[in-house]
């Protein structure tokens, strides 16, 4: 996937993002002005233009709500819905909020399998998604900051307000809840194990070899 680095990491108020969004809206309008029977030929180009924005919206949503999701599946789903819109939002911030609403609506729908479905290689397992996302938001925040963003105990304490001397005990409690009845816990690519947890050495070697191949 063509990931535009500026769109992915730039601050929301960056003038460059405003310009890029204007270009994206014009490309979308050109796509919508095509005869319906011809649009499918240009879906690839539209995807290249919209994907970085959708990627940004997904990441901001997961960080804001401390969720773990099958990223590629969500991206494809949101793109399919965006491509059917009559027009894009006037600002990239509004588009990001629309993406957030789509994700949260799907997660709240008991008939939807989002959050309990196996994703692409290296993404969270369905079981891990389900157990992680069902935790209270305050518990998810601590786990997310430590495991996904790889912050140490002191940094987690500052970010969450949990006293430094209580962070590890709190993390241990949440970790026990998360891993209960999980016979084969494998964290996704790029995650860290808790500082107090020592995974099986053969598993670590296997996961490292998998990441190297990818």
Q: Write out pLDDT tens, residues 44-53.
A: 999 999 999 9
pLDDT of 210 > 70? The answer is no
pLDDT at 39: 87
pLDDT of 18 > 50? The answer is yes
pLDDT tens, position by position, 5-14? 556 556 677 8
| Contact (Cβ atoms closer than 8 angstroms) between residue 139 and residue 174 | yes
Mean pLDDT of the 150-163 span: 93
Distances (CA, A) of 4 to 12, 24, 53, 80, 108: 15, 12, 9, 20, 31
Poorest-confidence range of 105-119, 131-145, 148-162? 105-119
Q: How many other C-beta atoms lie within 10 A of the C-beta of residue 80?
A: 11
Distances (CA, A) of 93 to 12, 15, 17, 137, 157: 7, 13, 10, 24, 29
The average confidence (pLDDT) of the chain is 85
pLDDT at 10: 62
What is the pTM (predicted TM-score) of this model? 0.83
pLDDT-based confidence at residue 200 (cuts at 50, 70, 90): low
pLDDT at 7: 63
Helices 71-83, 43-65: axis angle to 10 degrees equals 120
E strand or H helix at 106: helix 92-108
pLDDT of 26 > 70? The answer is yes
pLDDT-based confidence at residue 22 (cuts at 50, 70, 90): very high
pLDDT-based confidence at residue 185 (cuts at 50, 70, 90): confident
E strand or H helix at 32: helix 15-32
Dist CA 51 CA 116 (whole Å): 23
């Amino acid at each position: 996937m063509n990931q535009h680095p500026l769109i992915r990491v730039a601050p929301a108020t960056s003038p460059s993002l405003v310009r890029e969004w204007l270009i994206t809206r014009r490309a979308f309008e050109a796509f919508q002005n095509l005869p319906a029977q011809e649009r499918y030929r240009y879906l690839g180009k539209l995807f290249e233009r919209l994907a970085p924005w959708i990627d940004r919206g997904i990441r901001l949503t997961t960080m804001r709500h401390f969720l773990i999701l099958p990223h590629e599946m969500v991206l494809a789903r949101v793109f399919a819905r965006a491509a059917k819109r009559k027009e894009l939002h006037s600002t990239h911030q509004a588009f990001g909020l629309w993406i957030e609403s789509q994700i949260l609506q799907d997660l709240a729908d008991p008939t939807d399998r989002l959050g309990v479905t196996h994703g692409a290689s290296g993404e969270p397992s369905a079981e891990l998604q389900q157990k992680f996302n069902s935790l209270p938001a305050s518990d998810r925040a601590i786990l997310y900051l430590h495991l996904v963003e790889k912050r140490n105990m002191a940094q987690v304490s500052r970010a969450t307000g949990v006293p430094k001397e209580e962070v590890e005990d709190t993390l241990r409690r949440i970790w026990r809840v998360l891993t209960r009845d999980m016979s084969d816990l494998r964290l996704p690519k790029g995650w860290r194990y808790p500082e107090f947890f020592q995974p099986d050495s053969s598993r670590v070697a296997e996961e490292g070899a998998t990441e190297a191949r990818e």
